A and B are shown apart, each in its own frame.
Chain A
Amino acid sequence: MLAVLVANTKGGCGKTTIATQLAGAFAKAGLITALADADRQHSSLEWTARRPKETAPVHGLDWVRDVGKAPRHTARLIIDAPAAMRPKQAEALVKMADMIVLPVLPSAFDEAATARFLDHLETIKPIRKNKKAVALVGNRMRTRTRAAARLDQYLVVQGHQVVTRLRDSALYSDTAARGLSLFDLRGQRAENMREDWRALLTFIENAA
């Protein structure tokens, strides 16, 4: 099993969006997939509950109180972290994850929060020893804006590469509301948008 933690102490940067989309992608690929929700808002769990019967199943897990276990045979476990993580909780989640996906919005405000979070991560042993990959994901990017260029520059300075950039699109809130992911949709528009995910999914698969 490969466990992917989606985390950033910055609120609203897209953790739940990315976690549910990833879960949808793996389920659609035929892998037994679980989505663990560690946030008391339960947005990921509610998404799994909304998921239509005819879509590939995602097993929702409630990890608000404690880090639990994934069902037997799970191939991919996605963990949706809360913005306000207790230090103990952060450590437990990082320990159990094989890699970390860190969403960042293109704003100066977010950069500072992300830098603090990256610093915090560096204090956790397996990350410090470079044993766990951290994938930065630029979220809600409008291409060729100054903010986007700034973010790129900033992240390289931090010693991290942006693995992918996700465009800003209403399709994310639309699919979320219906318990779906881009990977459950037909049509050209969804297919184009799925391309944004190629590099991140390949990155995750190469860690498996």
Chain B
Amino acid sequence: MIEDRDDDSPSEVELKLTGDPAALKALREAGALTGTSGRLVTHRLESVYYDTPDHRLHRRKLAFRVRRKGRRFIQTLKDEGDGMLRRGEWEAPVASLDPDLDALPAPEPRHRVGLMFPGELNPVFASRIRRSSRVLKRSDGNGHEDEIEIAFDDGIVVADDRSEPVAELELELLHGSPKALYDLALELTDLVPLKFETRSKSARGYALAGAAPEWRKAVPLVLDRAATGADVLEAIVRNCMSHWLANEAAALDGSEPEGVHQMRVGLRRLRSALSLLAKAIPAEQLSWLQGETRWIAGSLGPARDWDVFLASLLPPVAAARPDDSSLPALRSAAEAMRASAYDHVNAAIATPRYTRFVLSLGAWLEGEGWRDGATGKAAKWQAKSVVELADHVLGRQHRKVLKLGDDFARLPTEQRHRVRIALKKLRYAAEFFRGLYPKRRALRYGTALAGLQDSIGHLNDVAVAARLMDELNAELPAGADPALLARGAGTVIGWHEHGVTTLEPRLVADWDAFAATRPFWHQGG
């Protein structure tokens, strides 16, 4: 439902797994796999990736390479795709390892590359891979046959004088359902430990050439007005999963706080969607989905909190008190905590549990798993029309917020936190469904909602600061001076607590403005 690419543009459907080279070698024998395997064929592949000195193609989310395979040269332009299975891909034979722009037909893919001045395209990095592949045919149990190419890649990526080993497995769908890729990947992870790999070889090459890993925000959801509840579920889960996975590499890298942040936002949007659409999901599946996403999001929480502390909670206090020696001490303690929180992120993503969940969720999505065991209520909600569903979901969440926030000016902090959390969910719901309604009203509502979220968000600053300072106190870094840190912590908490007091009139005004804003959906449904 949500694929935004033109349907006639070519694309590949492929999944990557990385693992220990020795373990991958063992898998090559493939005796353990069900289905009929073709012969194992081995090729040497040499690929050179081209770009402008300022990596313009990379910024356009493109990878442009020429690959030597035996005596042939194949030029390929790929786009970034959805971060899961699908990428746009255009191939043409060329005469040598040099790129040939005239082999790219207009409009696509030529327009993607744009104008290149002579000499502007140069090699950025190269890969040398030994690829052993075989074709696996297997029945899906419903009389359809899936055909998958399994390729074992072993080699290196080289940029200038740096290089990195490559040991990965690529499963490419030649024929059949994308679900078959996830099923096969799950089967393989039962045999040896493997990690779902979100990065292409080109992403690794650019990282090696010094580019920071990419992060991105959510892609706005486009829902078809003819969609059903089941279509909506699929579209939203796909959108959120792609948002989460597209930021995983940047989260692992950790040099850009947006990585963990956006990965977490992707997961939070997903968790909100699961709760908003709970009625359309069979109960057992719902608790599985909620449990696993809560675990992953929870693993990212501390890293995000320390990023926020270091980037926005501590600096205003430190700037106002330049002579206070407790604040630099607090900063270095917080940096140590942040580093260990990022180790925790890396460890969680490296677990078999994480990869298993990504693959199972992918299989659930591609195989429309929600249809299994959808009895009575779930089936009814899956069959509803998108507008009916959206009216219901938005109306219910809106009423919930109004009820929780009743008599807002007199509401205690604890209760305001509940309002804040319900608002966040309402915001995601509004973003999912706004395209179905008149623009102007949706925009006005969105603005009021965002304004309120912004001012109520300061409550959370205080809560985060207090929680982190407790954590710090419980795990004092070696050599730290507890009294000094305690003073710094108290100063930061007090600063933000006071900030909340100052903002009180604005917060109440923002609440009133929001409560008076007319909903943009059809009411009374």
Q: Mark B336-368, 1 if CB is under 8 A from A, else 0.
A: 000000000000000000000000000000000
CA distance A73 to B106 in the complex (A): 9
Chain A residues, CB < 8 A from B110:
30-31, 75
- Given A30-B101, A30-B110, A73-B107, answer yes or no on A201-B115 (Cβ-Cβ < 8 Å): yes
Residue of A73, A75, A198 near B117 (CB, 8 A) is A198
Any B CB within 8 A of the CB of A84: no
Interface residues on chain A, number (Cβ under 8 Å): 16
**CB neighbours of B114 from chain A (8 A):** 29, 31, 75, 205, 208
Question: Closest A-chain residue to B52, C-beta based?
Answer: A202
Q: With CB as the reference atom, state the residue of chain B lying closest to A25.
A: B115
A residues 47-101 near B (Cβ < 8 Å) are 73, 75-76
B516 contacts A by Cβ under 8 Å:
no
Is B32 at the interface (CB under 8 A from chain A)?
A: no
In the complex the two chains form, what is the Cα distance from A205 to B56 in whole Å?
A: 8
- Check if A32 sits within 8 Å of B107, measured CB to CB: yes
Residues of A within 8 A of B388 (CB): none
Cβ of A206 and Cβ of B56 under 8 Å apart? yes
Interface set, chain A 10-43, CB cutoff 8 A to B: 25-26, 29-32
Q: Do A202 and B120 touch across chains, with their CB atoms under 8 A apart?
A: yes
CA distance A75 to B104 in the complex (A): 14
A21 → chain B, closest Cβ, in Å? 13
Which residues of the other chain, B, contact A73 by a CB distance below 8 angstroms? 106-107, 111
CB within 8 Å for A26 and B107 given contacts A205-B56, A206-B56: no
Complex Cα distance, B111 from A208, in Å, reads: 10
Beta-carbon contacts under 8 Å, B110-166 to A: 110-111, 114-117, 120
Q: What separation, in Å, do the CA atoms of A25 and B116 have in the docked complex? A: 10
Q: Is B323 positioned at the interface, with any CB of A under 8 Å from its CB?
A: no
A29 to B107, CA, bound (A): 12
Is the beta-carbon distance between A75 and B56 smaller than 8 angstroms?
no
Of chain A, the residue at the smallest CB distance from B120 is A202
Given A30-B101, A31-B114, A206-B54, A75 and B120 touching (CB < 8 A)? no
B102, B111, B115: residue with the most chain A Cβ atoms closer than 10 Å: B115
Instruction: List the B side residues contacting A205 at CB < 8 Å.
Output: 56, 114-115
In this complex, what residue of A is CB-closest to B119? A198
Q: What residues of A have a CB within 8 angstroms of the CB of B104 in the complex? A: 30
Residue among A31, A32, A198, A204 facing the most chain B CB atoms (10 A cut-off): A31
Q: Are A30 and B56 in contact (CB under 8 A)?
A: no
Interface of B is mostly: loop
| C-alpha spacing A32/B60, complex, angstroms | 19
- The A187-208 residues at the B interface (CB cut-off 8 A) are 198, 201-202, 204-206, 208
Q: How far is the CA of A204 from the CA of B120 in the complex (A)?
A: 14
Q: Answer whether A30 and B106 are a contact pair too, CB < 8 Å, given A75-B114, A205-B115, A206-B56.
A: yes
Residues of A within 8 A of B117 (CB): 198, 201-202
Could you tell me which residues of chain B, from 26 to 78, have a CB within 8 Å of some CB in chain A?
52, 54, 56, 60
Known A-B contacts A73-B107, A75-B107, A202-B120; the reply to A31 vs B54 at CB < 8 A is no
Cβ-defined contact, B115 with A29, below 8 A: yes
**Which residues of chain B are within 8 angstroms of A208 by Cβ–Cβ distance?**
60, 114
Taken together as a complex, chains A and B put the C-alpha atoms of A86 and B102 apart, in Å, by 42
Chain A minimum-CB-distance residue to B115: A29
B455 to chain A, nearest CB (A): 24
Residue of B nearest to A75 (CB): B111
Chain A residues 150 to 208 lying within 8 A of chain B, measured CB to CB, are 198, 201-202, 204-206, 208
Distance between B7 CB and nearest chain A CB, rounded to angstroms? 16
Chain A residues with Cβ below 8 Å from B107 are: 32, 73, 75
Please determine whether B56 and A31 come into contact, CB atoms closer than 8 angstroms.
no
* Residue of A with least CB distance to B102: A30
Given contacts A205-B56, A206-B54, A206-B56, contact A31 B111 (CB under 8 A): yes
Q: Which residues on the A side are within 8 Å of B115 (C-beta)?
A: 25-26, 29, 31, 76, 201, 204-205
Which chain A positions have C-beta within 8 A of B56? 205-206
Q: Check B116–A32 contact: CB distance below 8 A.
A: no
Nearest chain B CB to A192's CB is how many angstroms away?
Answer: 12
In the complex the two chains form, what is the Cα distance from A206 to B54 in whole Å? 9
Q: Which residues of A contact B111 (CB under 8 A)?
A: 31-32, 73, 75
A204 to B116, CA, bound (A): 11
Most buried by B among A32, A76, A201, A202: A202
User: What are the residues of chain B within 8 A of A75 when measuring CB–CB?
Assistant: 106-107, 110-111, 114
Which A residues lie within 8 Å of B116 (CB)? 29
Q: A206: which B residues are within 8 A, CB to CB? A: 54, 56
- Which residues of A are found within 8 Å of B101, using beta-carbon distances? 29-30
Chain B residues within an 8 Å CB radius of A26:
115
B116 and chain A: residue at smallest CB distance: A29
The distance in angstroms between the C-alpha atoms of A136 and B115, with both chains bound, is 20
Q: Given the known inter-chain contacts A75-B111, A205-B56, please indicate yes or no for A31 contacting B120, CB distance below 8 A.
A: no
Complex alpha-carbon distance, A73 and B110, angstroms: 11
Q: How far is the CA of A206 from the CA of B101 in the complex (A)?
A: 18
Q: How far is the CB of B379 from chain A (nearest CB, A)?
A: 43
Q: Which residues of A contact B (CB under 8 A)?
A: 25-26, 29-32, 73, 75-76, 198, 201-202, 204-206, 208
11 A-B residue contacts at CB 8 Å? A25-B115, A26-B115, A29-B116, A30-B101, A73-B106, A75-B107, A75-B111, A75-B114, A76-B115, A201-B115, A205-B114
B interface residues, Cβ below 8 angstroms from A: 52, 54, 56, 60, 101-102, 104, 106-107, 110-111, 114-117, 120
Given contacts A31-B115, A204-B115, A205-B56, 19 further A-B contacts (CB under 8 A): A26-B115, A29-B101, A29-B114, A29-B115, A29-B116, A30-B104, A30-B106, A30-B110, A31-B106, A31-B110, A32-B111, A73-B106, A75-B111, A76-B115, A198-B117, A201-B117, A202-B117, A205-B115, A206-B54
Q: Which 7 A/B pairs are nearest by Cβ-Cβ distance? A: A29-B115, A75-B111, A73-B107, A205-B114, A30-B110, A198-B117, A205-B115
